[in-house]
Amino acid sequence: AQSVTQLDSQVPVFEEAPVELRCNYSSSVSVYLFWYVQYPNQGLQLLLKYLSGSTLVKGINGFEAEFNKSQTSFHLRKPSVHISDTAEYFCAVIYSGGYQKVTFGIGTKLQVIP
Amino acid sequence: GAGVSQTPSNKVTEKGKYVELRCDPISGHTALYWYRQSLGQGPEFLIYFQGTGAADDSGLPNDRFFAVRPEGSVSTLKIQRTERGDSAVYLCASSLDGGPSTYEQYFGPGTRLTVT
């Protein structure tokens, strides 16, 4: 079965420190990859996406992610986090041929500590 | 412009009752999706509409769940004989055309359904 794995359910990090949120997916077909963020009491918002081309993609709020096909990973990174980055982050995949059916991971809660 | 809106924002109902959840997509978006997010989980796909027709309803858990989009805009998710296990946040999303041009889905704030 196709699945998305977010290895860390919670990640505490001090303000201005770097962070990496890990995501792996299962696939034997082409994929399109996404990171969404959900701030407290708000809806999901797209952070960034990989459809094709350069494997390093940059998104909003200083986040970036790198698509690694051999490792089937799409880890999210930010070199210096802010308090306002405290939120839940979801990795998501659309499998080629799956219309736009999105498969989400269970989410990683990023807690930025002052 | 206006984003995806969902009503009601919260719904509390008794076990066995019928509920309807409404989604207003972004104007001009032909593709519409419903997801369900249970506590501590990521959103789970339920159904995808392209225009008025359900292109993929493989995520609907059973025949108590049904969704319509009669005019290709507003959609209603209908749940019959609700059960406590149906308690979750129901999310709606829309995208421009359902094709590979963007693959970007815009999400509404969700409806929190509680079945007592």
pLDDT digits (tens, 9 = 90+) for A31-48: 889 999 999 878 899 999
Q: Let me know: does A13 contact A112? Beta carbons within 8 Å.
A: yes
pLDDT bin (cut points 50, 70, 90) of residue B98 is low
What are the structural domain ranges in chain B?
A: 5-101+107-111
Q: 10 Å Cβ neighbour count for A25?
A: 19
- Residue ranges with strand state E in A4-95: 4-5, 10-14, 19-21, 24-25, 31-38, 44-50, 56-58, 64-68, 73-78, 87-95
Region A4-113: CATH code: 2.60.40.10
Q: pLDDT by residue (tens digit) across A76-113? A: 999 999 999 999 999 999 887 666 788 999 999 999 99
- Beta carbons of B42 and A99 less than 8 Å apart: no
> What pLDDT was estimated at residue A98?
60
* A104:B40 CB<8 A: no
The domain B5-101+107-111: what is its CATH number? 2.60.40.10
Distance CA B100, CA B11 (A): 35
Domain layout of chain A by residue ranges:
4-113
pLDDT at B1 over 60: no
The whole-number pLDDT of residue A31 equals 87
Query: Checking DSSP bridges between strand B65-68 and strand B75-79, what pairing results, if any?
Result: antiparallel
Looking at the DSSP assignment, which residues form a beta bridge with residue A32?
A94
Dig out the tokens for B12 from the structure: 């509390």
> Which residues in chain B touch residue A49, judged by CB atoms under 8 angstroms apart?
103-104
| B100 interfaces chain A, CB cutoff of 8 Å | yes
